[in-house]
Structure 1
Amino acid sequence: MIAKFAKFLSQPSIQNLSRDGLLKLDPETAHRLTINAIKFGAVAPQETSDPKFFETEIAGLTLKNPIGMAAGFDKNGEVANQLSDIGFGFCEVGTLTPRPQDGNPKPRLFRLPEKQGVINRMGFNNEGHLAVYERLTRNKQAGVTIGINVGANKDSADFVADYVEGVTRFASIADYLTINISSPNTPGLRDLQSGEALKRLLGEALNARAKALVRVPVFLKLAPDLTEIEMDEIVGVIKQVDLDGLIISNTTLSRDQVANCVHADEKGGLSGKPLFNFSTMRLAQMRMRVGTDMPIIGVGGIHSAQSAIAKFAAGANAIQLYSALVFGGMELLRDIKNGLTVKIRKDKLDNVGQMTSSDVESWASGKAQL
Structure 2
Amino acid sequence: MSLHGAATWALRGLDPEDAHGWAIKGLKLGLGPAGGRDDPILATSLAGLSLPNPVGLAPGFDKDAEVFAPMLRAGFGFAECGTVTPLPQAGNPRPRLFRLSEDRAVINRMGFNNKGLEAFAGRLARRGPSGVVGANIGANKDSADRIGDYVTGLTRLWGLASYFTINISSPNTPGLRALQTKAALEELLGRLAEAADSLPPAGRAPMFLKVAPDLEAGEVETIAAACAVRGLAGIMVSNTTVSRPPLTSRFAGEAGGLSGAPLTALSTRVLGEFAQAAGGRLALVGVGGIGSGADAYAKIRAGACAVQLYSALVFEGPGLVGRIKRDLAQRLRADGFASVGAAVGAK
TM over 0.5: yes
Q: Is 1:194 equivalent to 2:212 in the alignment?
A: no
What percentage of aligned pairs have identical amino acids? 47
User: Which whole-Å deviations, capped at 9, do the CAs of 1:261-317 have from their partners, x for residues lacking one?
Assistant: 311111100000100000100000110000123100110000111111111111100
- CA contact under 8 A between 2:33 and 2:318: conserved in structure 1? no
* 2: CA distance, partners of 1:26 / 1:222: 29
Aligned counterparts of 1:16 and 1:66: Cα–Cα separation in 2: 23
The equivalent residue for 1:8 is none
1:135-150 matched pairs, under 5 angstroms:
135-138=123-126, 140-150=127-137
1:239 aligned partner: 228
Work out the CA distance in 2 between the residues paired with 1:18 and 1:93.
23
Contact 2:213 2:237 in 1 (8 A): yes
Secondary structure of the 1:154 match is coil
Structure 1 vs Structure 2 CA RMSD: 1.2
Alpha-carbon distance in 1 for matches of 2:100, 2:123: 34
Q: Corresponding residue for 1:216?
A: 205
**Matches for 1:1-370 after TM superposition, within 5 Å:** 13-47=2-36, 49-138=37-126, 140-213=127-200, 214-258=203-247, 260-359=248-347
Deviations 1:191-235 (A, max 9, x none): 000011000000001221222222211000000000232222223
Cα distance in structure 1, aligned partners of 2:334 and 2:242: 38
Q: After superposition, what is the alpha-carbon deviation per residue over 1:31-70, rounded to whole angstroms, capped at 9, x for unaligned?
A: 01111122222222113x2132211111121111111100
Name structure 2 gaps, 5 residues minimum: none
State the SS of the aligned residue for 2:103.
coil
TM-score (norm 1): 0.91
Runs of 5+ unmatched residues, structure 1: 1-11, 360-370
Structure with the larger RCO, 1 or 2 (CA within 8 Å, 6+ apart): 2
Kept after mapping to 1: 8 A contact 2:134/2:163: yes
Any idea what SS the aligned residue of 1:228 has? coil
Kindly provide the amino acid, as one letter, of the partner of residue 68 in structure 1.
Answer: G
1:3 is matched with none
Q: In 1, Cα distance between the equivalents of 2:281 and 2:130?
A: 25
What is the rounded CA distance, in whole Å, between the counterparts of 2:213 and 2:162 in structure 1?
A: 25
Distance 1:206 1:239 in 2: 12
CA distance in 1, matches of 2:311, 2:89: 22
TM-score scaled to structure 2, two decimals? 0.97
Q: Deviations over 1:161-192 (max 9, x none)?
A: 00000110112111000000000000010000
Counterpart AA for 1:286: F
